[in-house]
Amino acid sequence: MDTIFACIDGSTVNNAVCDAARWASARLAKPVTLLHTLEKQAQHGADTLSGNIGLGAQSELLEQMAQLDQERARLAMQYGKALLETAVARFGDDHSEPVNSLLRHGDFVETLVELESQARLMVVGKVGLDHGGQFSAVGSHIETLLRQVHTSVLIANQLFQPPQNFMLAYDGRDTADRSLARIIDGGLLAGLPCHLVMVKSGDSAREEKLQAAEHRLTEAGFEVTSALLEGPIFESLQSYQQAHEVSMLVMGAFAHSKVRQLFLGSNTIRMLENATLPLIVLR
């Protein structure tokens, strides 16, 4: 776990991904690997041609299509290298940690799963190339990625500014306590003021853990503001974030697959869809 993977795809969030990775690299003193994946293009074949075309014409068309596929692949490779070169340049000469680039063929999520053993953090954009500027959308790759990796993921929005504080959504469960430990031990958020928030659930024992969590963070040197909120989870968290000018959101993902499906299908996705801030999903 010794590098930060930052995923570049040519979308409008490329600069934000680079800036987020640059910030994380400086905070963690870890190198960055800028990753661009070349997805497999749909190939043309004989089954796409009408059976009414003569064999000679069909053979000629297939040859032309193969040449087009080769040219498309060559241009995609050239484009990917140019993207990575531009991304590396954005880090500037004053960045103290190494910045590498990696061009890979294959599926984006599968590539990250394969490289996960080398990852300290993954940085991805909220939307992909096919979403244009629709920042209310969430790239389908994000939900798939969160289901398959065990590394924390920083999701960058349209712009990235170094956060001045962060908000941790805490529910008192074991998974939330593991997220708390990641924050304390990880170093990425060290020194930033923390807004520790819990939405009331009617479980008094769980709500009492909020005070214990605040104590753990304070003992670790964090400046903590804790709050017990009322109302629907998403609306309560969003209102608090706006009222207190929070600049980064932090959430945990549940480990149990069935619960995780529910979690990713509801509150996390809603936060992603509506967030205008960078969001870290801790694993």
Q: What does the pLDDT read at residue 200?
A: 86
Q: What does the pLDDT read at residue 166?
A: 97
166-282 has CATH 3.40.50.620 classification = yes
Ranges of each domain in the chain: 3-41+76-156, 166-282
Task: Output the DSSP codes for 26-86.
Answer: HHHT--EEEEEEEPPPPPP-GGGS-TTS-HHHHHHHHHHHHHHHHHHHHHHHHHHHHHHHH
| CA distance linking residue 20 with residue 117, whole number of Å | 21
Asked whether this chain's domains 3-41+76-156 and 166-282 adopt the same fold, the reply is yes
Model confidence pTM above 0.75: yes
Q: What does the pLDDT read at residue 10?
A: 84
Distances (CA, A) of 94 to 25, 34, 90, 91: 13, 17, 11, 8
Q: What does the pLDDT read at residue 145?
A: 87
Q: What does the pLDDT read at residue 44?
A: 47
The identity of residue 105, as a single letter, is H
CB 243, CB 195: distance < 8 Å: no
| pLDDT of the chain, 283 residues: tens digit per residue | 689 999 999 888 999 999 999 999 999 999 999 999 987 654 444 455 555 555 667 788 888 888 888 888 888 889 999 999 999 999 998 899 999 999 999 888 999 999 999 999 999 998 755 544 444 444 567 878 888 888 999 999 888 999 999 999 898 888 888 889 999 999 999 999 999 999 887 777 778 899 999 999 999 999 999 999 998 888 898 899 999 999 999 987 644 443 344 344 456 667 777 778 899 988 7
| 3-41+76-156, CATH topology level | Rossmann fold (3.40.50)
The residue among 184, 182, 175, 195 whose CA lies nearest residue 236 is: 195
Task: Output the DSSP codes for 239-278.
Answer: HHHHHTT---EEEE--SSHHHHHHHHHTHHHHHHHH--S-
The residue among 221, 271, 214, 222 whose CA lies nearest residue 248 is: 271
